[in-house]
Structure 1
Amino acid sequence: MSQERTGVAMFKGNPLTLIGPEIKPGDQAPDFKLNKDLIQEVSLADYAGKVKLISVVPSLDTGVCDAQTRRFNEEAAKLGDNVVVLTVSVDLPFAQSRWCGAAGVDRVVTLSDYKTRNFGQAYGVLIKEFGLLMRSVFVVDQNGTVQYVQYLEEMTEHPNYEAAIEAAKKLA
């Protein structure tokens, strides 16, 4: 059974339970299998040698998630080719693709944890009550070491964009 963490996250002031460990800077980034589409899966190894800014959102179809993904898409162009920005949610790959097309998001790679919630459990962001992922940001260096982490305490709040972008820039 996976570890459950309480008292660390809320949705509109209501407590949530997160499944999985708390990842900290200095930890080796857990591997994952995420879907680019219904068939093609990717893992951490697919992005080896690059700095990975991993933006985790509950659903692209909400205002904060929409704004978060658009902001990281804008910043991705300035971060250079050595940095890949991954947005992870449990939205179906169809929905992610449709959303990106409608939003003009073309630099962020959207990946789905809909099949197994493997990423959510490995990174400690799976919300037990909703089956969604808790808003969070991870920056992982070229060697797979976590260098920056922000778990948001309130699901409806924005992450610290500047701190995450600065962490990625320092590694690029």
Structure 2
Amino acid sequence: MTQERTGVATLKGNPITLVGPELKVGDQAPDFILSKNLLEEVTLKDYSGKIKLISVVPSLDTGVCDAQTRRFNSEAAELGDEVTILTVSVDLPFAQERWCGAAGIDRVITLSDYKTNAFGEAYGVLIKEFKLDMRSIFVLDKDDKITYVEYLSEMAEHPNYEAAIAAVKTLL
């Protein structure tokens, strides 16, 4: 039976249900299969040996998600080649590609959870009511251990960018 968490998140003050476990610092990150494009899938192992910042957004076509992805794209240059920044949403891969092209996003890798929502369930961010992934941040070390996690309690708010970047920098 899949775990459901209530009372932990809202959308503009309205309660939403998150499906999956609440991951914590020290946990081993669950593997995932996400769509890189319509034909190509990737797993966590495709980024092995790298520090990973996983930025989860409900949809790139909304203001906060747009700003969040642009912010991490601009930070990526300063973090160097040891760090991979993945943005995960349920947007279709060609919508992600269109958005990235229009926004000039070239350092963040966008991945889609649209096929199965398995990433959302494994990371405890799937919003039951909308089948979108809740805004959250995960930082994984080179061995895929979670060193930082932020589950936002309000979907319309920004994550703590500075804390997430600082968590990455401690691993460099």
State the TM-score bracket (shorter-chain normalisation).
over 0.9
Partner of 1:9: 9
Partner of 2:118: 118
State the Cα deviation string for residues 38-91 of structure 1 (Å, max 9, x = none).
111000000000000000000000000000000000000000000000000000
**How big is the shift at 1:95?**
0.3
Partner of 2:71: 71
Aligned sequence identity (%): 74
Count of aligned residue pairs for this structure pair? 172
Partner of 1:129: 129
**Counterpart Cα distance in 2 of 1:59 and 1:18:** 16
Partner of 1:104: 104
Q: What does residue range 37-52 of structure 1 map to in structure 2 within 5 Å?
A: 37-52=37-52
Contiguous gaps of at least 5 residues in structure 2 = none
**How big is the shift at 1:169?**
1.1
Partner of 2:33: 33
Partner of 2:95: 95
Contiguous gaps of at least 5 residues in structure 1 = none
Runs of 4+ in structure 1 over 6 Å off? none
Partner of 2:150: 150
TM-score, length of structure 2 as denominator length:
0.99
**Secondary structure at 2:119 match in 1:** helix
**Counterpart Cα distance in 1 of 2:142 and 2:34:** 19
TM-score, length of structure 1 as denominator length:
0.99
Is residue 2:129 matched to residue 1:168?
no
**Secondary structure at 1:171 match in 2:** coil
**Counterpart Cα distance in 2 of 1:95 and 1:169:** 31
